[in-house]
Chain A
């Protein structure tokens, strides 16, 4: 019962972040210079009447709080309005692309989690030794490289040099990317390398910490083989904090998907967001940002719940 209540409050606490966040996103776009009506009529040299009519059609003649409430109540019903640029329904655009981003993200996370754990445990249990130094240097280099630069390097090597993989991830709209596995390799590899190297460094710190604990010392003094010490005493105690770290890297994956999808012209939410910014499609920008924020909050909350359930001492009274 207490656990159920805890789960409920934690989930509620996470979702409570969404409304203030929506105010921030709306206000930022509202306050910064740039008139949606001007962009909607770009290149048409509009008359004053047409301008006024467009402003009325887009609802720009109403006050910002009024428009915000309208937009937010629409959000709650999964209706994010229409693009002022091409009249498309924002929800429809998101619906058409969200699946591709989910496929990309899920593949990255499925690869990243075991990779980060394996490297982190390997390096953490060999702290200061040569294996640790080599992996620490590699991950230190990888975390510094921006995703698009890593993607460019992989494209030059595998797309041009070895001619093994396509340099862009373009495929027919009606297809699923899973029907064209080669287009997924480089985007997935880029994001996995970036996310896994950052996460593995934190897993390593956690593991190295546990390795120095008294109970690990005791286990060794008991004469347990090192392998058993690591498997039974180190990993179970390092896994809780590691889960939080891995959930944090969902943020890296989502932020990185904007870049990686753009580099490879992969038709997902991230490339749609970057394109919407280029065409100044405010409704689409707001819609996609809110979807990404919701995904992040769900991931963080889920990780918090998992960590709390695995390590009861972290359960805080809400």
Chain B
């Protein structure tokens, strides 16, 4: 939620929706010196490297980890160096091994959720921006309805029954994120739907499907690409929060959010089992956000430059 709303995209039912690229186009508008522009591109590049490193380490976890994730190697809450390199968790399992393995499911699941919610939201937004009349009004109200509840509340409603674990997270993220995506895509669609090339396609008698996919979609690719980064952050946020609330990844799996939850009661005995996974999530989320923000500016800046020429 916060990841998506912070760029000014439709954060709530009646808010004025900003074009997602606007903020970045404007930010570039200020007379930045070459040195600052260099700085501005160095930070996103560095964070891109961090993302790559995290992905690499977690995907290689089975080969790098010194112990199996469920093996007890020493006393619970042993400090770094006392047992294992980083110490042990509340059951005496190796912290380093669990830390390496703990990001794998988070990242794979976040990627799956991003694709699923992105496709649904984009399709819905294209339709909402194109169709007119009663159907559009009704669909718009339904989308508004879904925008009321915060994503974590949606998550808790959907997981209050027996549907728990990682499979419920994909529909949860689709249901809670698609309306936001739809609003952004709808705004972008409304911006091009009156263009001469769309009217020409209508006059040529092309099908609605062809017009949406071949005429409109390529012309709003910028905003669609930009929201992919936001969706990824959002997915990481929801999946991690679900793990922490106990309705996502289930024990004894190694998972960063679950590690924070499990080791929190003993945080006053040993802070490391909480601190390391917290740092891992912070590193991943922050670097993904900075990288996607940089990419976003690049796209918006390129467009602004072309428009100005």
Contact = CB atoms under 8 A, between A and B. Distances in A.
Interface stretch (A71-79, A106-114, A178-186, A288-296): A288-296
B126 interface: no
Contacts of A155: 264, 267, 274
B240 A148 contact: yes
Nearest to A154: B278
A144 to B, nearest CB: 4
Contacts of A249: 5
Interface in A23-37: 24-25, 28-29, 32-34
A280 interface: yes
Given A17-B148, A128-B30, A202-B6, A159 B286 contact: no
Nearest to A163: B268
Contacts of B274: 152, 155-156
B162 A255 contact: no
A205 B8 contact: yes
B152 interface: yes
Contacts of A29: 157, 160-161
A198 B2 contact: yes
A237 B5 CA distance: 22
B16 interface: yes
B251 interface: no
Interface stretch (A51-59, A93-101, A228-236, A256-264): A256-264
Nearest to B285: A144
B156 A161 contact: no
A254 B2 CA distance: 12
A187 to B, nearest CB: 14
Interface residues of A, number: 74
A252 interface: yes
A146 B240 contact: yes
B278 A153 contact: yes
A258 B271 contact: no
Contact of B157 (A20, A28, A129, A262): A28
Contacts of B15: 244-245, 248
Interface stretch (A1-9, A169-177, A219-227, A270-278): A270-278
Given A244-B16, A277-B159, A255 B286 contact: no
Interface stretch (B117-125, B189-197, B242-250): B242-250
B241 A148 contact: yes
Nearest to A284: B160
A208 B26 contact: yes
Interface string B26-64: 110111100010011001000000000000000000000
A225 to B, nearest CB: 21
Q: Which are the 8 A-B pairs with shortest beta-carbon distances?
A: A34-B161, A255-B150, A128-B30, A144-B289, A248-B11, A34-B162, A144-B285, A32-B161
Interface of A: 17, 20-21, 24-25, 28-29, 32-34, 127-129, 133, 136-137, 139-141, 143-149, 152-153, 155-156, 159-161, 167, 194-195, 197-198, 201-202, 205, 208-209, 212, 241, 244-245, 247-249, 251-252, 254-256, 258-259, 262-263, 273-274, 276-278, 280, 282, 285, 289, 292-293, 296-297, 300, 304
